[in-house]
Structure 1
Amino acid sequence: MAKNPRQKQPLQTKKHLARIERERIQRRYILISSIVVLVLVVALIVYGIVEQTYLQPLQPVAVVNGQKVSTRDFQTQTRYARYQLVSNARNTMQFLELFGNNPEALSSFQGQIQQIQAQLEPTSIGQEVLDNLIEAELIRQEAEKRGLLVTKEELDEAVANAFGYYQNGTPTIQPTEKPIPTSTLNPTQKALLPPTSTPTATPVITPTATPVITITLTPTQIPTITQTPDPTLTPTPYTEQGFQSLYDEVMANFEKDIQFDESDLRYQIETNLYREKLMEAVLAELEVSREVEQVWARHILVADEQTAQDVLKQIREGADWNDMAMLYSTDTSNKEQGGDLGWFGRGAMVVEFEKAAFELSIGEISEPVQTSFGWHIIQVLGHEVRTLSESEYQQLREQKFSEWLTQVRENATIDIRDYWVDRVPAEPTLPPEIVQFLQQSVQSIPQPTLPAASPDQ
């Protein structure tokens, strides 16, 4: 009888069992390592999303006296600034299409668009927006110190006004300002000047631009004009309902295109209101008045001290001032008028020139005065307290407030984080047709031709 064959079980030695255990442990380590790596990758992705979406916007790009200027506000205001520049470029292109056949107009519009392109450069626009946000925070802090408040009613009215809606009626247009009468010349002044001479206009003091809100509307957002049965065109009344409809449409477009919402708009307008109130308070503290001390002076500007001494010697020996100005002065803007600078107040000229002019008596001629422009011989023709025109007064107010605000910033503790440079938004961008126009403009600029080398070189 045959035996049932049975498979003989292999004997598992200790060595074989140890190898199996090592392989099992290795597989476990590989599995655990894979899970850990996967978890880390997922965690990094989640952190990146959280950091980009929630944490980074809260991080400050600057700290002003302990108050943070957030990345979110910086990026939002930068996108809005870019939006305004792009809108300006679009408007300029429309003018270019209308007047582009005129070479002078073409050159002017081309220069404007190129300037806008330069302003859109990330570092440039980012620095400007950052400075504005720091200034806005300083203004709010200084307003708080003085107990200045902007009420909700004031803010609501200013928002409506920004959209051209005036609930209490359209403001009355200010009448054209009357010119300030020219001072009567005294005998000394008459002796110094030809019979036809009169003081020239006061030099304009360049003000620092006041931040304003500009609401850019597309053609479809402008109140329509309806035609009555007769040929007369009558504008559609701009009611509160019309304002609200326009406001909702504009803000919806802002939020969709540049993530700029209602709170951002109200923040900007509120900052402007704080600036206006703070300016009034500061100028009152500084006692800035419409009545200011001014001098009327003329000068002869030359390049070096020896020439100045020679010209001064000739004048003192009887040479005619106007002839000397025409012959020697390098200030081409007024040499044909005898170097007449008109009336000016303190702060309008460089310090050295101002000091000398305000110390001279009427008719007195200075020793040569050195400034960064060269050497001046100065003669004062008038010195009195004068009333500024409205435009001059507003320019003076802006100048004084700007100087005060600059001093406030210098005394503030401001910590600017270097990483702001990497967080400047790159959108919105110029439309393709404008970019193409700029490229064609660059290509059309004549390139300098180098002279051909001679055979013996």
Structure 2
Amino acid sequence: MAPRPTKRSTLTKKHIARLERERRQSRMIVWTAVAVFLIVAGLIGYNLLNESVIQPRQAVARVGDETITTAQFQARVRLQRDQIIQQYVQYEQFAQMFGMDFSAQTEQLAFQLSEFGAESLGQNVLDAMINEILLRNEAARLGIVISEDEIQAHLEGFFGYYPNGEPTATITPTEVVMPTISAEQAAIVTITPTPTIAPTSSGTETATPLPTATLDPNATATATLDPNITPTVTLEPTATLEPTITPTASATTLPTQTSTPAPTRTPEPTATPITKEGFDERFVASMEAFSELGITEADYRRLVELDLLRIRIMEHLTADMKPFEDQVWARHILVGDEETANSVRERLLNGEDFAVLAKELSQDTSNSETGGDLGWFSKGQMVAAFEEAAFSQKVGEIGKPVQTDFGWHIIQVIGHEERPLTADQFEQAKQTAFDNWLADLRAKADEDELVETFDIWIERVPLDPSLEEALSALGQ
């Protein structure tokens, strides 16, 4: 039987058109999927590139021809946050050891580390970095150069390593003869405000307390760590160059609030000289801790160099300073309104005793019991309006009421003279001179439009390391 012939299907135009549509749809789906994939991959790639390459190199500020990048800024913020965390832990440890209440300090530090305090912290760090560039430029102008050997020796000193022997400070005692109370001052007041250490009959010493001055409420201070915890280089704002891996408390010194507008050195005292091996071990551990914050060894050495530049510039600026200072001895009565102030002044002009009225009426309870006596003070210690009045009044004069943020002051100047400074006071005067010089340098740079900042830094302030993680790691 012959095979039956197969019937070949014939594609109609309709079938061909449908197949063509299906092929186009398939290709469209494929190309759409490929496009979506490429877009997603591109976005992911761009975000990764932006976060790891583009963004870190973007400038947050420029000072002349120099740029502060996002990466540099963020590393310094993390360094500052690490410093604040160390301070927080230290306060907590002292609270546990001595049963003292440091809640006000820890709350302030916790706020700086919070999201709400991030912008303020970032602003302080950025200002510090700008000032550091200005400081370096000024050092170059003055011909101040720090060698690599000096940097290495200074760095080793932070860790208590002195390969050529620990330097011994030579102290040359100088006799300071304080002026005696003049007849004019004695006629005004009989209280001696100068704090002294006087021997008692038992052979011990007792301190005469210094009257409390009315300080500027706008003044700010930054906390520094106890040097017994870690060797640090403190920058503006305070930045510890030796992160504490395992903080330990010391019973020798309580945390203090000190103004540190420029790098200051706080080396760790050691009971026995550290060996080269010991230094190398600690240095490597420190560099590993710094790397987690984004600080390289080169960055660290630049900060050490900056510390030395600050010291040399301060020496240059204060070379001609003498250990004497224009000071005023004054007393005051603080009241709440101008009418009361005028009434009190009128009573004083009519002969009523200043000390008696101060004890009765003054709202400044820190000195009302001592007749409103503020003792001797120099410029920069009082709020501006109070200072201007005190330094411009004649000795013995009952000045017109002066208004400050505290209220209304009736001031009487008891003495006004050049007074010798103690060693500590002289060092503080040098620091103040340096601070003022740096503030003027920055103001001049801003005026000359040498400094430019970009608001992108505000959204790039890092929130790590966090206080919560640090406390968790310490088991607190």
Cα contact 1:78–1:129 (8 A) shared by 2: yes
The amino acid across from 2:107 in the alignment is: Q
Task: Supply the distance in 2 between the matched residues of 1:377 and 1:396 (Cα, whole angstroms).
Answer: 28
Question: Secondary structure, in 3 states, of the residue corresponding to 1:344?
Answer: strand
Structure 1 residue 235: Cα displacement: 5.8
Distance 1:47 1:432, change over 3 A: closer
**Residue 301, structure 1, aligned to residue 334, structure 2:** yes
Change (3 A) 1:118 1:438: farther
Change (3 A) 1:282 1:237: closer
Contact 1:139 1:275 in 2 (8 A): yes
CA contact (8 A) 2:86 2:247 kept: no
- Corresponding residue of 2:425: 392
1:215 pairs with 2:242: yes
CA contact (8 A) 1:180 1:389 kept: yes
1:340 maps to 2:376: no
CA deviations 1:26-77 (Å, max 9, x no partner) are 3333323322322232222222222222222111222333422112112222
Q: Cα distance, 1:7 vs. partner?
A: 1.9
**Cα distance per residue 1:339-369 (max 9 Å; x no partner):** 2222222333333333333333332332333
Q: Distance in 1 between matches of 2:23 and 2:351?
A: 114
1:266 aligned to 2:301?
A: yes
Using the TM superposition, give the Cα deviation of residue 433 of structure 1 relative to its aligned residue in structure 2, in angstroms.
9.0
Residues 69, 316 of structure 1: CA spacing in aligned structure 2 closer, same or farther, 3 A cutoff?
A: same
Q: Distance in 1 between matches of 2:164 and 2:220?
A: 31
Instruction: Note closer, same or farther for the CA distance 1:363–1:179 as it changes in structure 2 (3 Å cut).
Output: farther
Q: Which amino acid aligns with 1:429?
A: S
Query: 2:342 & 2:48 partners in 1: Cα distance?
Result: 73
Question: 2: distance between equivalents of 1:378 and 1:98?
Answer: 44
State the 1:135 CA deviation.
Answer: 2.5
Give yes or no for contact 1:60–1:69 (8 Å, CA) kept in 2.
yes
Identify which range, 182-191 or 202-211, moves more after superposition.
202-211
Cα 1:178–1:373 change in 2 (3 A) is farther
Residue identity matched to 2:306:
T
Q: Check 1:359–1:267 CA distance in 2 against 1; reply closer, same or farther (3 A cut).
A: same
Choose between structure 1 and 2: higher helix proportion.
1
* Alignment equivalent of 1:277, drawn from 304, 312, 329: 312
What is residue 118 of structure 1 aligned with on the other side? 111
Alignment of 1:285-296 (within 5 A): 289-296=322-329
Cα 1:175–1:208 shift into 2, 3 Å = farther
Corresponding position of 1:248: 284
Residue 152 (structure 2) aligns with: 156
What secondary structure, in the 3-state scheme, does the structure 1 residue paired with 2:49 have? Answer: helix
Q: For the residues of structure 2 that align with 1:386 and 1:288, how far apart are their CA atoms?
A: 14
Larger radius of gyration between Structure 1 and Structure 2: 1
TM-score under structure 2 length normalisation: 0.75
Unaligned runs of 5+ in 2: 196-209, 223-233, 249-269
Q: Does 1:415 align with 2:448?
A: no
Please tell me the residue identity of whatever aligns with 1:51.
N
Q: Structure 1: any 5+ residue segments left out of the alignment? A: 222-233, 440-457
Alpha-carbon contact 2:57-2:69 (below 8 Å) kept: yes
Q: How does 1:309-388 map to 2 (within 5 A)?
A: 309-388=342-421
SS at match of 2:467: coil
Deviation at 1:175, TM superposition (A): 5.0
Once the two structures are TM-superposed, the CA of residue 24 in structure 1 deviates from its matched residue by 2.7
Aligned equivalents of 2:89, 2:405: Cα separation in 1:
41
Distance 2:80 2:307 in 1: 16
- Taking a change above 3 Å as real, the CA distance of residues 174 and 363 of structure 1, as seen in their structure-2 partners, is farther
Contact 1:86–1:430 under 8 Å retained in 2: yes
In structure 2, C-alpha distance between the alignment counterparts of 1:386 and 1:235, rounded to whole Å: 39
User: What is the deviation of 1:252?
Assistant: 2.5
Q: Which residue of 1 aligns with 2:6?
A: 7
In the TM superposition, what is the alpha-carbon distance from 1:298 to its structure 2 partner? 1.8
- 1:254-273 CA-to-partner distances (Å, cap 9, x unmatched) read 33x43433123223222222
Q: Is the 8 A contact 1:207 1:399 kept in 2?
A: no
Aligned amino acid, residue 314 of structure 1: R
| Structure-2 change in CA distance of 1:182 and 1:10 (3 Å) | same
**Matched residue SS, 1:16:** helix
Give the TM-score normalised by the residue count of structure 1: 0.78
Residue of structure 2 equivalent to 1:446: none
1:75–1:220 Cα change, 3 Å = closer
Percent sequence identity is: 37
Question: What is the DSSP-based 3-state SS (H/G/I as helix, E as strand, rest coil) of the residue aligned with 1:293?
Answer: strand
Tell me whether 200-209 or 183-192 shows the greater mean CA deviation.
200-209
Q: How much does 1:214 deviate?
A: 4.5
Preserved contact between residue 79 and residue 428 of structure 1 (Cα < 8 Å): yes
Tell me which amino acid in the other structure corresponds to 1:306. E
